[in-house]
Amino acid sequence: MNPLIEANDLLRIYETRRGLFGRTSPVRAVDGVSLAVVQGETLGIVGESGSGKSTLGRMLLGIDPAQAGEVRFSGRPMPKSGTAEWRALRAKMQLVYQDPLAALDRRLTITAQIGEPLEIHRMIPKEHRAARVAELMAAVGLRPDQAGRFPHELSGGQRQRAVIARALASRPKLLVCDEPVSALDVSIQAQVVNVLRDLQEQNGIAMVFISHDLKVVRNIADRVAVMYLGRIVEEASSDVIFQSPQHPYTKALVSSVPVPGKPLEGRMILQGEPPNPAERPSGCAFHPRCPLARDICRTSVPALRQIGSGRTAACHIVAGEAASIETLRRRA
């Protein structure tokens, strides 16, 4: 199956400046990321804040241009942001935002805003638009009497439902969700995630779900990519990665999720803060915090390598172990 969206070696460098006349230092927000998502699949992207998840999401949608590498949607390269071609493509790919109140125009009723993509892309004749909006509102679980409300008159969860309804109005093929539930209450989170998952399954949408919350990602994603300082360090199917994480960073992330009924012993707790992305550590970016770090980790950057069927990791140790296990098997 051909991937719906494909990214090859994406690169995005931000320049940060210290002080008025200070020197600029490059921050590699996204550094050589490749991924592919097929129709109907959900790819979860997890990582700490500052790991480049959101930038990657925006690059997949073509909002931020890639400085190197390319994004292909349905096999065609992404047009330049702001062109008519790019605008027309918005009907096929949509974004769900972290802060729904900021993403909605506070002066328009939610009906007007949910119907806006239909109006922009002239998709449905005017007289049928109201029916489509009502259908969308019902699909995301908004009551008909909330149609005339303004965004500030809704609760956080309802606002996010309105944003999701708006994103789905044009029947997109790809939905990028950038931390869609991290601003919501835990009880509301589950509802919104369920809405997203149901709608995705019904409509066969490909979804990129960006989050720092592993519980949510585990719940919704088919495949998970873990990012650390702008790079993917491990990628595998959701069940596999949570059952047996390989990369030390993934191990630490997975073991940081509390499991009810299990003692806290044996958890791998990371020391220190994520490093400043402007001063990326040499070699493997994770080595200053990695309990298994060896000399090679400080000097050479590990490449993302296949470590099993459908799973990859960027770690010298994991790759070495995998290699040694294979040699053991061959001997036996």
CA angle, corner 12, sides to 217 and 170, nearest 5? 55
Q: How far is the CB of 53 from another protein (least distance, A)?
A: 17
Helices marked H in the chain: 53-60, 84-89, 100-103, 110-114, 116-120, 126-140, 156-168, 186-203, 214-220, 238-243, 248-255, 295-299, 316-331
Q: Between residues 135 and 198, which has the closer beta carbon with respect to another protein?
A: 135
- The residues, ordered by sequence, that sit 6+ positions from 118 with a Cβ below 8 Å of its Cβ are 124, 129, 132, 133, 169, 170
91 binds another protein (CB under 8 A): yes
CA–CA distance, 297 with 283 (Å, rounded to integer): 6
Least spacing, CB of residue 25 vs another protein, in Å: 23
Residue 42 CB, shortest distance to another protein, in Å, is 20
Q: Is 298 helix (H, G, I), strand (E, B) or coil?
A: helix
Cβ closest to another protein, residue 101 vs residue 301 = 101
The answer for residues whose C-beta is within 8 angstroms of residue 116's C-beta and 6 or more apart is 166, 169
Output 166 or 289, the one with its CB closest to another protein.
166
Between helix 186-203 and helix 126-140 the angle, nearest 10°, is 130
SS3 309: coil
Is residue 257 a contact point for another protein (CB under 8 A)?
no
Contacting another protein within 146-185 (CB under 8 A): 147-148, 150, 152, 166, 170
Per DSSP, the residues of 193-211 read HHHHHHHHHHHT-EEEEEE
Nearer to another protein, 12 or 287 (CB): 12
By CB under 8 A, name the one of 46, 60, 104, 216 that touches another protein: 104
Comparison of 134 and 190: residue with beta carbon closer to another protein: 134
Minimum CB–partner distance for residue 102 and another protein (Å): 3
Stretch that binds another protein, among 91-99, 183-191, 228-236, 266-274 (CB under 8 A): 91-99
| 62 neighbors 52 (Cβ within 8 angstroms) | no
Question: Of 93, 100, 110, which Cα lies nearest the Cα of 180?
Answer: 100
Q: Which of 117, 230, 277, 283 lies at the binding interface for another protein (CB under 8 A)?
A: 117
Segments in 267-311 forming alpha helices (H): 295-299
- How far is Cα 245 from Cα 148, in angstroms, rounded to an integer? 48
Nearer to another protein, 97 or 286 (CB): 97
Binding mask 118-147 for another protein (x = CB under 8 A): --xx------x-xx-xxx--x-----xx-x
- Site residues for another protein, window 38-77 (CB under 8 A)? 61, 63
Q: Does 105 bind another protein (CB under 8 A)?
A: yes
Q: Which positions lie near another protein, rule CB under 8 A?
A: 61, 63, 87-91, 94-95, 97, 99, 101-109, 111, 116-117, 120-121, 128, 130-131, 133-135, 138, 144-145, 147-148, 150, 152, 166, 170
